[in-house]
Structure 1
Amino acid sequence: MIKKQILFILLFSIGLFSFAQSSSKAEALLDEVYNKVKGYDNIYIDFSSTLENTEADLKQETNGNVTLSGEKYLLNYFGAKQLYDGNKVYTVVPENEEVTIEDVNEDENNVSPSKMLTFYKTGHNYQWDILQNVGGRKIQYVKLIPIDSNTEIKSVLLGIDSQTKHIYKLIQTGNNGTKTTITVNSFKTNQPLSSGLFTFNEKKYEDEGYYIIRN
């Protein structure tokens, strides 16, 4: 009986040590990604996105792009444009000829474009996951599990290019079974940006007959 207890304690200790190593490796890789991202003046990302829920027979695919500079961003996605100038979020939907102006949502569980490359720094436990070969590139996955049990997100898989330390893929699984996959097709840094890129011209849309909604 004593031998069995000792064996159990030994195996449990080895398991804890392996998990700690896995968590430590994952966190160290994410720190490398974070430091790399924070060193750029701006980032341009062209991506493809898939939203799936097999139970609801739902599958949506689209392409988009986003330009990031500090907290500011310009996102083109699902035929709409969203701009954050550091103060307000402006969402332009040409199909409806509408513009929505609102304060930024500070919800920590909401991965906004300005946080899409840095959101993992807080609020998650980390696990080392699989390594994939994608066209000769080694993509190392890290699994993120939210610490907050009330979040709608079950887990996030981040695929990281082992050489560039850039995020290649994000796979988010919700508690309702919905899976969102974002794949980076192009990642450019320190691009020349126009001085008015993150400035919203409200008068332009008023003149074009857009309905302005303020929240």
Structure 2
Amino acid sequence: MKKSMSFLVSMLTLVCATSAFAQQDAAAKKILAEVSKKYDSYQSVQANFSFSAVQGANKSAYADAGTLYLDKKNNRYQISMKSQDMISDGKNLYTILKNEKEVQMAEVEKSADAIDPSNIFSFYKTGFKYTLAANEKSGTTVLNVVELSPTDTKKNYSKIKLRINKSTKLIHDATVFDKNGGKYNYTIKTQTANKNLDSSLFTFNKGKYSGYEIVDLR
């Protein structure tokens, strides 16, 4: 379960979004630029999502669902799921493992590959080759499909399939295909932009976790 969650967060924030798109498929580039323009205008996002994973040779499955609260302006977030929560105040990351009754404290990484959900809607901006695939549907919703492959061949995944609502230019889902045959899907169910988010969402309150073991990894 911990491995599945790490793949979720890694998938959402594979690389920092600081560069222009690589010159690849012009049609795919146009769609991604439209998506980026939409999300770049947001100061905050609240999104409900589902996550599923199929891992290993025996194809073991894992699924979860939750809510993301993202304060882009201040680089803070909370991910609340059934099995665990993650809270970042911009400096420290608190991972609350509910079943294990454990809280892991770590510094927020600053590297180019930092696990940082502040980049959840813009990971695709750099470090990928991309091509436009045929449109697909989810119910009656038409989805543009962009396939991204990392320019760094040392990555542990081979491809990401990003599906975008053709009408709204909002991300519908992303699926990561790793080199060991695993598949990890993240689907955004609903999302609300520029909502006033309470600062307490991004503050770790030790008093709420009486009986939990605190593991400081900083």
Compute the TM-score of the two structures, normalised by the length of structure 1: 0.83
95, 102, 105: which one pairs with 1:98? 102
Q: Which residue of 1 aligns with 2:13?
A: none
Provide structure 2 residue ranges, at least 5 long, that are not aligned to the other structure.
1-21
Q: Which residue of 1 aligns with 2:172?
A: 168
Asked if 2 retains the 8 angstrom alpha-carbon contact of 1:143 and 1:158, the reply is yes
20, 24, 42: which one pairs with 1:40? 42
Could you tell me how far apart the structure 2 residues matched to 1:139 and 1:111 are? 27
Cα deviation, residue 134, structure 1: 2.1
C-alpha distance after superposition, 1:13-43 (max 9, x if no partner) = xxxxxxx997111112111111211111211
Could you tell me how far apart the structure 2 residues matched to 1:167 and 1:26 are? 14
Q: Which residue of 1 aligns with 2:17?
A: none
Over 3 Å counting, the alpha-carbon distance change for 1:37 and 1:163 in structure 2 is same
Over 3 Å counting, the alpha-carbon distance change for 1:38 and 1:141 in structure 2 is same
Percent identity, please: 28
Could you tell me how far apart the structure 2 residues matched to 1:195 and 1:48 are? 24
199, 203, 206: which one pairs with 2:203? 199
Matched, 1:65 2:67: yes
Query: Which amino acid in the other structure matches residue 140 of structure 2?
Result: G
Between Structure 1 and Structure 2, the one with more helix by share is: 1
Provide structure 1 residue ranges, at least 5 long, that are not aligned to the other structure.
1-19
Q: Which residue of 1 aligns with 2:3?
A: none
Secondary structure at the counterpart of residue 196 of structure 1:
helix
Asked if 2 retains the 8 angstrom alpha-carbon contact of 1:111 and 1:119, the reply is no
**Structure (1 or 2) with the larger CA radius of gyration:** 1
Count of matched residue positions in the alignment of Structure 1 and Structure 2: 194
Higher RCO structure, 1 or 2 (CA under 8 Å, sep 6+): 2
Q: Report the aligned-residue RMSD.
A: 2.0
Compute the TM-score of the two structures, normalised by the length of structure 2: 0.82
